[in-house]
Amino acid sequence: MNAYEETVLQNLSEEIPADFSKATPKEVYMAVSKAVMKQIFSTWQTKSERKKACYFSAEFLLGRVIHSNLLNMGLLEETENLLRQHKIDPKVFEKVEDDALGNGGLGRLAACFLDSGATLGISLNGYGIRYRYGLFRQTFSYGEQKEEADDWLAFGDPWSVRRENERVRVDFGEESVWAVPYDMPVIGYGGKTINTLRLWQSEPLHPFDFELFNEQKYEEAVAEKNAAERISNVLYPNDDTDEGKSLRLKQQYFFSSASLQSILREFKKSYANDFKKLPEQYAIQLNDTHPVVSIPELLRLLIAGENLSFSEAFSIVQQVFSYTNHTIMAEALEKWDVSLFCTVLPQVYPYVVMLQNRLRHEIGSNSQRNPDDYSLIAGGKVHMAKMAVYATHSVNGVAKIHTEILKKKTLKEWYDLYPERFHNVTNGVTQRRWLALCNRELSKFITNRIGNSWITNLSELEKLVPYADDPDSLKQLMQIKKEKKNQLADYVYRKDNFGLNTENIFDVQVKRLHEYKRQLLNAFSILDLYYGLKEGRIKDFYPTTFIFGGKAAPGYDRAKGIIKYINEIANLINYDDAVNRKMQVVFVSNYDVSYAEKLIPAADFSEQISTAGTEASGTSNMKFMMNGAVTLGTYDGANIEIVEQAGEENNYIFGARVEELEALGENYHPRIFYEREPRIRRVMDSLVNGTVTDGGSGVFQELYRSILDGASWHRADYYYLLLDFLPYCETRLRANQDYLRDRTKFTRKCLLNIAHAGVFSSDRTVSQYAKEIWYL
């Protein structure tokens, strides 16, 4: 027995002296995690002398970390064997919920990047917030989403180290708090590099006012504590009100300022006040607009704190920072009311004004430009995306089409001004989690054929191409898919008490609920299929299970209405004995990283059906591809690059392209589609004619109106559901029939998708950032 194994057993015996098989999941989790922490301690301490990249992000959607840490340390199988020897089921870790600190693709991307950075041996550290509660936990009641607090610390937090002596003070207008860092190790594959994810927790300067308490003013005695803790209390607090907006801005400033202060403190230890060297030592990536307030904050720290001139400070800021845009949705390009900004951050606002003045000056001396086109402060608001473009050296989109849209539309005038600043860095995902860990069966299949170097070099997968014509390999691949469906079925049965028919095709759409992602289009098409099967219009059909998963923002009524609608359609279909042997529909609850790890390997079809031009990239599309699903999708985001790699003939692409939508312009009249096409009318009418009911909330009616008439803030059918409806239904049916008619030929497509997934490794993405943007 080696030292690591001894430590695990030692830890266990401290918790439960006699019979290890009686240990609770939490006890086993603690024993193993602490043993790993001990193992990595000395490597983790070594500080890098080279240039460091810092990833500032409001979200890090890590998922459960125990498996990936064990895998990367090379301890996974050893640990599982050890546990089995002591009659402990290695599956205990599945009970440990640990999915807290993110919401969607942006947060998961950050987590994949950290894994890749450490694996590549780059010094890439994350900086964010240690939320007390993560994104809500989702349940359904009568088909409606309900939200509960997500207490991710219920199982303890063995992976974090509180660094009390590295705390920093963060000041707001009239309030000051401590930011206390909790550091988590980020272990690269092979365990050679261990980077850090530093998450800040907000705490009061004075936790308790004894005098007030003595005067029996109990509430006031803890008022400062409550106010301070509110800052890191929850991810994305509802921002419907000014209070909520102010809290969000506070959160953003809180982790931006704390991270910058800690970086400067570290820098000064080696370089004293030689701040010109800062860009040689640090690159800071701003993940979307959430940390963009870092720009005026670093100016402030350098000018007011360190006596640099504005122009010296500006030059440093511009070299240090770069910005990634993750969306073109107007609602997510953050703008803050000047009055709110001044109230929350009065000491920072003057630096925004200085930036604005510098910009004015620059544009003013350029006769070709109109100063009115360039303003960081406009219409009474501070525009964070514009600030990010202006004060950094690099702006990037996350897929080719997305970057083109940024250049031609969203940030056009800025691209005209600074074309050299714009880059595309197509997203990627880590194959350690999204293949090696979540699909060990497929991993073995791959390694048996081409060796295991794909784990750190995903382009190796190309070597699988010849196996596309090997019947035996295709047969094995089918068996693996079946096995993953069985495993998923067990899981869904446990979590959602629903029985999946594992003989069926699994057709999966899992992602945040949003109108642009068009879960409603999927539901309409399922209803159309249902009618087609029930009435005999569709004869040849391979039985299919349609699976949805995803959360709706608590304040987003339409998205919640769509969940309700899908659940109602599911009821209608699942209880109809005339068709339920041919199709079933389920919306799994509380979709998160752990659920994704079960769903993605079991999928045959990956639904990526956003309106062309709306999905920046998508990353689940890459995970599905790697796991051998074919994409049923639009010309949008990274789908385009996926079919570029794997071939259009191996995927199912449909629908209007961006150029077509542009050409259509004002001439799109969804009502004509509605009136002309009975199948469209029928699914649309299901919203309002009693086919299904929203329980009296009126939300179905609202969805119906938004499509046919529009609303005050958008025109009718803003996301072109009715335009793409028939092509979608046709393509879906064609895909189904391909599967039905020739399983081997279909499986060949799956294998070719896997073989061409190499470029979608986040190892490639991070290398590109390191070289082209961070100059590491």
Give the residue numbers marked as catalytic.
Answer: 326, 511-512, 517, 619, 623
Specify the 3-state DSSP secondary structure of 741: helix
Give the shortest CB-331-to-ligand 26W separation in angstroms. Answer: 7
CB of 405: closest distance to ligand 26W in angstroms?
12
Residues 84-103 that bind ligand 26W (CB under 6 A): 103
What residues pair up with 183 in beta bridges, in sequence order? Answer: 161, 198
Select the residue interacting with ligand 26W from 8, 284, 344, 398 (CB under 6 A): 398
List, in sequence order, every residue forming a beta bridge with 139; answer none if it has no partner.
146
**Considering beta carbons, is residue 281 or 410 the nearer one to ligand 26W?**
410
Measured from each CB, the residue nearest to ligand 26W is 105
Query: Of 149-157, 327-335, 337-345, 417-425, which part binds ligand 26W (CB under 6 A)?
Result: 327-335
Q: Which amino acid is at 475?
A: K
CA pair distance 576, 559, nearest whole angstrom: 26
Nearest to 260 by CA among 382, 169, 138: 169
Q: Is 114 an interacting residue with respect to ligand 26W (CB under 6 A)?
A: no
% helix, strand, coil for the chain, step of 5: 55, 15, 30
| Least gap, CB of 233 to ligand 26W (angstroms) | 16
Q: Rounded distance, CA 454 to CA 442, Å?
A: 12
Task: Say if strands 194-204 and 176-187 run parallel, antiparallel, or are unpaired.
Answer: antiparallel
Q: How far is the CB of 75 from ligand 26W (least distance, A)?
A: 30
Structure token digits, residue 86: 């002591």
427 binds ligand 26W (CB under 6 A): yes
Looking at 90, 105, 628, 633, which residue binds ligand 26W (CB under 6 A)?
105
DSSP 24: -
Pattern 474-513, ligand 26W, x by CB under 6 A: --------------------------------------x-
CB atoms near residue 256 (< 10 Å): 27
Q: Identify the residue among 109, 122, 293, 566 touching ligand 26W (CB under 6 A).
A: 109
Alpha helix (H) residue ranges in 16-158: 25-45, 66-73, 76-85, 105-120
Phi, psi of 177 (to 5 degrees): -135, 160
Residue with smaller CB distance to ligand 26W, 296 or 428:
428
Is residue 392 a contact residue for ligand 26W (CB under 6 A)?
A: no
Cβ–Cβ under 8 Å, residues 92 and 163: no
**Cβ closer to ligand 26W: 621 or 686?**
621
# of chain residues touching ligand 26W (CB under 6 A): 18
- Which residue's CB is nearer to ligand 26W, number 281 or number 324? 324
Which residues 566-625 are close enough to bind ligand 26W by CB under 6 A?
Answer: 615-619
Q: Are 411 and 395 in contact (CB under 8 A)?
A: yes
Q: Which is nearer to ligand 26W, 66 or 389 (CB)?
A: 389
CB burial class (10 A; 0-12, 13-18, 19+) of residue 609?
Answer: buried
Whether 766 and 120 have beta carbons less than 8 Å apart is answered as yes
| Binding span for ligand 26W by CB under 6 A among 142-150, 324-332, 465-473, 755-763 | 324-332
Give me the least distance between CB of 328 and ligand 26W, in Å please.
10
Q: C-alpha distances in angstroms, 628 versus 220, 473, 602, 622?
A: 59, 13, 9, 10
CA-angle at 596, arms to 591 and 597, nearest 5°: 140
CA distance 518 to 526: 13
- Residue among 260, 204, 206, 196 nearest 233 (CA): 204
CB of 256 to ligand 26W, least distance (A): 15
Residue 518 Cβ vs ligand 26W, minimum distance, rounded to whole Å: 13
Q: Which is nearer to ligand 26W, 201 or 610 (CB)?
A: 610
In angstroms, what is the minimal distance from the CB of 556 to ligand 26W?
11
Find the binder of ligand 26W among 57, 246, 261, 327 (CB under 6 A): 327
Q: C-beta of 197: minimal distance to ligand 26W in Å?
A: 18
* Shorter beta-carbon distance to ligand 26W: residue 123 or 762: 762
Q: How far apart (Å, rounded) are the C-alpha atoms in residues 174 and 589?
A: 42
Task: Please say whether the beta carbons of 93 and 67 come within 8 A.
Answer: yes
**Distance of alpha carbon 587 from alpha carbon 140, whole angstroms:** 9
159 to 38, 198, 229, 291: CA distances (angstroms): 11, 12, 22, 25
Residue 346: C-alpha distances to residues 253, 257, 350 (Å)? 12, 14, 8
Rounded Cα–Cα distance for residues 511 and 517 (Å): 8
Q: Which is nearer to ligand 26W, 615 or 694 (CB)?
A: 615
Which two tokens mark 116?
Answer: 């890749």
> CB-wise, 507 or 615, nearer to ligand 26W?
615
- Please, which residue, 123 or 617, has the CB nearer to ligand 26W? 617
Question: Going residue by residue from 330 to 349, which x/- string records binding to ligand 26W, judged by CB under 6 A?
Answer: --x-x---------------
User: Could you tell me the smallest distance in angstroms from the CB atom of residue 738 to ligand 26W?
Assistant: 28
CB 63 within 8 A of CB 593: yes
User: Which residues contribute to the site for ligand 26W (CB under 6 A)?
Assistant: 103-106, 109, 326-327, 332, 334, 398, 427, 512, 615-619, 637
